[in-house]
Chain A
């Protein structure tokens, strides 16, 4: 009897694996079917311009990839509903091909090659820094325009065909340091994630800017943590002993939520300042009063009047408040549209050349690009008052 159960269990697993293959096969068929459909649609409605991108749709970073995907989809739907993009005498409809890379570099390479197989006109990626970096040489070799909505590592834009929409890590660190100096805080402690390049990059630039400004004595304590940490009491006890009036936490909202709550448990009354990864922290704390008064840098504020239409469309479509990743995805599509219109062509060389000549008034602010591929835009500081995000002034 037992044997039979085991045998059938084995058969079941193999069957599952086979169906998985079968499904994948039929997915492929479906893919080519939908591709055929778009081609057919193209004949009726004009030409299709495909934006390809890779990002994490599963795994621990999944929320970033999904947000970018949703934001970009809203922009594409809007543009297509308004008749598409006019380039010279042709009109293009936009299409999005989003491949999952699980925020892993090796998966990103496979995903990118998959995109190139199916044919894309511009590469809007990746969502995470590591994947973006892994692909810059490949996109340069394929001579295709690469714009990352949210890859903030400095080295991404070294190749001339690569641009980015978000702030770089060093720029964020510098802006936050200036903010701390301007606001006249007496002392600041840093708590950063040393196994995360984003957090470390912001922290290093922050420290450097304080040194250049001759304010290095402001920094009274530096503590770090690692990716899977949930207990910050040891670090916070050290910070408490240092008597810092302000705690700077560069990093993502998950860690920030743990930190502000544990600081409250320890009776620490210092103020908090954060980097743009803090967006969404309110959804992670059980007691909003723990994060009251915190300030963080953010390119985007969902409750801002200029973003009202986008926020409404996003809430209707996805039943969630858009975060900065969604806004970055949305704006990047509009940047691509602007570049197409400016270039008057969809050839990669023309698009790359047009990138430095455009200016887009997006929901993350007015943005233009310099020859290094970096965006010029104004930072916004957001503060939390009465459990809501408000612009800081």
Chain B
């Protein structure tokens, strides 16, 4: 029973850390551009297909392919912002949200047209071995996922807090106008945010495809929505919040699937979101906002 519970926690940690990686992208973009980038989940899908394309079709060695995947996603993230979101920076939030939904559909249906709807199997880039820790079995992919997520989060925290670009980001998310007056280039800061968020989504995509070994055009939709829930749970705009929210969500999902009902697991996840929003609208670690007239 205990072993079973520990294994379920490990399962939760693994999915949770993928959610956390994606949630950071949502939260960074929301913090700076004040919009939900609905297409963010689909960047994971682009990452998975990019990895498949560069290894299976172009025949590139794995490290080059990994790097290429991250670059492709970052560039795509920046392009999406420039083409679809930038013209709407002063528009009402509704218009931006609808555009983002449109972008998400656009990415999905384009890859449907290019790669077809039949799932494509793809051999993991991480060798699959089971590691025994006492009676508990952990797969190598789980271990890699946990390590990569931890490293990515540490690097990101250092970047945000210690570098000049990081402080520019924090300044823009605090007050766009004031940041501009202080000589910060808001446009390039926003681009940078999209690039970093998308790069993390690419990493999530690589880990995702290594775990599940099969890809289809809609693969990013569900993790995308779940990660968004995680970002809101942790407090949207807060990076530690997104990490906490992602891990918590993974654990909640895993435990409710295992011990309550798999059928209602999604309903429980969304239910948690609704409860959090109603009682603590700014999330677990989010800052309270005061609306001024």
Contact = CB atoms under 8 A, between A and B. Distances in A.
A and B interact: yes
Interface stretch (A121-129, A271-279, A280-288): A280-288
Given A226-B263, A234-B258, A241-B4, A283 B130 contact: no
Given A228-B222, A238-B258, A266 B139 contact: yes
A258 B212 contact: yes
Contacts of B119: 254, 257, 284
Given A194-B262, A231-B15, A238 B213 contact: no
A113 to B, nearest CB: 26
Nearest to B132: A267
Interface string B125-148: 000101000000101010000000
A284 to B, nearest CB: 5
Given A233-B11, A237-B4, A286 B121 contact: yes
B161 interface: no
A58 B117 CA distance: 8
A223 B121 contact: no
A224 B263 contact: yes
B137 A235 contact: no
Contacts of A194: 262-263
A223 B11 contact: no
Interface string A214-249: 000000000111101011011101101100000000
Given A59-B117, A228-B218, A265-B130, A237 B212 contact: no
A181 interface: no
Contacts of A231: 11, 15, 211-212
A139 interface: no
Contacts of B117: 58-60, 62-63
Contacts of A199: none
A7 B248 CA distance: 47
B237 to A, nearest CB: 28
B75 to A, nearest CB: 22
A150 interface: no
A261 interface: yes
B262 A267 contact: no
B123 interface: yes
A59 B219 CA distance: 15
A264 B124 CA distance: 14
A237 B258 contact: yes
Contact of B8 (A60, A234, A254): A234
A264 B1 CA distance: 21
Contacts of B130: 265-267
B139 A285 contact: no
A286 B213 contact: yes
A283 B118 CA distance: 11
Given A230-B219, A231-B15, A286-B123, A265 B139 contact: yes
A254 B141 contact: no
B41 to A, nearest CB: 12
B241 to A, nearest CB: 24
A258 B214 CA distance: 8
B137 A257 contact: no
Contacts of B218: 60, 228
Contacts of B7: 237, 240-241
A284 B7 CA distance: 27
Nearest to A236: B11
B266 interface: yes
B122 interface: yes
Nearest to A283: B121
Given A59-B117, A265-B141, A286-B124, A230 B214 contact: yes
B121 A257 contact: yes
Contacts of A233: 11, 14
A381 to B, nearest CB: 24
A292 B279 CA distance: 51
Nearest to A231: B15
Contact of A261 (B1, B3, B15, B213): B213
Contacts of A59: 117
A257 B119 CA distance: 10
B128 A284 contact: no
Nearest to A264: B128
Contacts of A258: 212-214
B77 to A, nearest CB: 22
Interface string A24-64: 00000000000000000000000000000000001110110
B254 interface: yes
A253 to B, nearest CB: 9
B214 A235 contact: no
A180 B156 CA distance: 53
A128 to B, nearest CB: 15
A237 B8 contact: yes
Most central of A237, A264, A266, A283 by chain B CB within 10 Å: A237
Given A231-B212, A234-B11, 19 more contacts: A63-B117, A194-B262, A194-B263, A226-B266, A228-B221, A230-B212, A231-B211, A233-B14, A234-B258, A237-B4, A238-B8, A240-B4, A241-B7, A254-B214, A257-B214, A258-B213, A285-B213, A286-B124, A286-B214
Listed from nearest, the 5 A-B pairs whose CB atoms lie closest are A241-B4, A265-B139, A234-B257, A286-B123, A267-B137
19 contacts: A228-B218, A230-B219, A231-B15, A233-B14, A234-B254, A234-B257, A235-B258, A237-B7, A241-B1, A257-B121, A265-B139, A265-B141, A266-B137, A283-B121, A284-B121, A285-B121, A286-B123, A287-B123, A287-B128
